[in-house]
């Protein structure tokens, strides 16, 4: 089933306060609320801000994200797709909300978090991808079969198909497409592309390539 790509709280960035955190963290928040919290953690707070509740609330949020992750219901899927044990998948999902793991992607609206899987995906490009709200992921061709698991947000594929959080999309070898992010949260997904990928106008990126 598709999930909503908008947060019911609408509290992001500097607007987060201790009261908002208590509401969202302390009452078994749903996936959308947790996505909004993580988005808030990644947002910049104005250095001139003097509201102590803003500073304190953001500090509490960042501390919480250091020890927990929001994708517990997807751990087993991530582990299976990457051919790894669940504890290793859990560690990767914890890292997804750490800014330090992300590297530049194919354009300035995309970022990549490279990971290594097990034997079943040793000939694949594997990693997490983040694409900003409203952005388009550029045209690319799959040299082998591709499978994508969406963690957060949603995207609309070239054929109009909408793929949301918790859903899997597959593309066969030789296929190509671009897609657009739907909703107001960054799109996060795990991608596994057998044999590599070719971006329009560029050279192929194969497994093991530092750009992959």
Domain chopping of the chain, boundaries: 13-67, 73-205
* Spatial CA neighbour of 113 closest among 91, 130, 94: 130
For residue 28, the SS3 value is coil
> Which of the two residues, 212 and 11, has the higher pLDDT score?
212
Q: 166-183 burial string, b = 16+ CB within 10 Å, else e? A: bbebebeeeeeeebebbb
The model's confidence at residue 13, banded by pLDDT at 50, 70 and 90, is very low
Query: Per residue in 31-76, pLDDT tens?
Result: 666 666 666 655 555 545 556 666 666 666 666 656 678 899 999 9
pLDDT tops 90 at residue 151: yes
Query: Per residue in 123-144, pLDDT tens?
Result: 999 999 999 999 999 999 999 9
pLDDT at 49: 53
Query: Per residue in 170-208, pLDDT tens?
Result: 999 999 999 999 999 999 999 999 999 999 888 889 998
Tokens of 105: 């992607």
For residue 24, the SS3 value is helix
Q: Which of 5-14, 83-92, 97-106 has the lowest mean pLDDT?
A: 5-14
Kindly report the pTM of this predicted structure. 0.73
Residues 146/104, Cβ–Cβ less than 8 Å:
no
Opening angle at CA 43, ends 40 and 46, nearest 5 = 115
- Determine the Cα–Cα distance for residues 85 and 82; give it in Å rounded to an integer: 9
Residues 3/32, Cβ–Cβ less than 8 Å:
yes
> Which of the two residues, 201 and 6, has the higher pLDDT score?
201
CATH architecture assigned to 73-205 = Sandwich (2.60)
């Amino acid at each position: 089933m598709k999930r909503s790509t908008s947060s019911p709280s609408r509290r992001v960035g500097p607007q987060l306060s201790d009261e908002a955190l208590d509401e969202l963290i302390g009452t078994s928040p749903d996936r959308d609320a947790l996505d909004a919290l993580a988005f808030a953690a990644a947002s910049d707070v104005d250095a001139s801000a003097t509201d102590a509740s803003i500073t304190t609330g953001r500090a509490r949020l960042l501390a919480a994200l250091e020890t927990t992750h929001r994708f517990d219901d997807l751990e087993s899927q991530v582990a299976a797709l990457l051919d790894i044990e669940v504890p290793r998948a859990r560690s990767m999902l914890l890292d997804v909300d750490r800014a330090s793991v992300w590297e530049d992607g194919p354009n300035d609206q995309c970022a990549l978090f490279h990971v290594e899987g097990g034997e079943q995906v040793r000939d694949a490009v594997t990693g997490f991808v983040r694409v900003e709200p409203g952005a388009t992921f550029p045209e690319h061709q799959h040299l082998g079969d591709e499978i994508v698991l969406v963690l957060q947000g949603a995207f609309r594929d070239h054929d109009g198909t909408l793929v949301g959080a918790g859903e899997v999309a597959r593309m066969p070898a030789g296929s190509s497409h671009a897609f657009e992010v739907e909703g107001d949260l960054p799109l996060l997904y795990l991608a596994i592309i057998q044999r590599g990928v070719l971006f329009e106008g560029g050279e192929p990126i194969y497994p093991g390539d530092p750009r992959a």
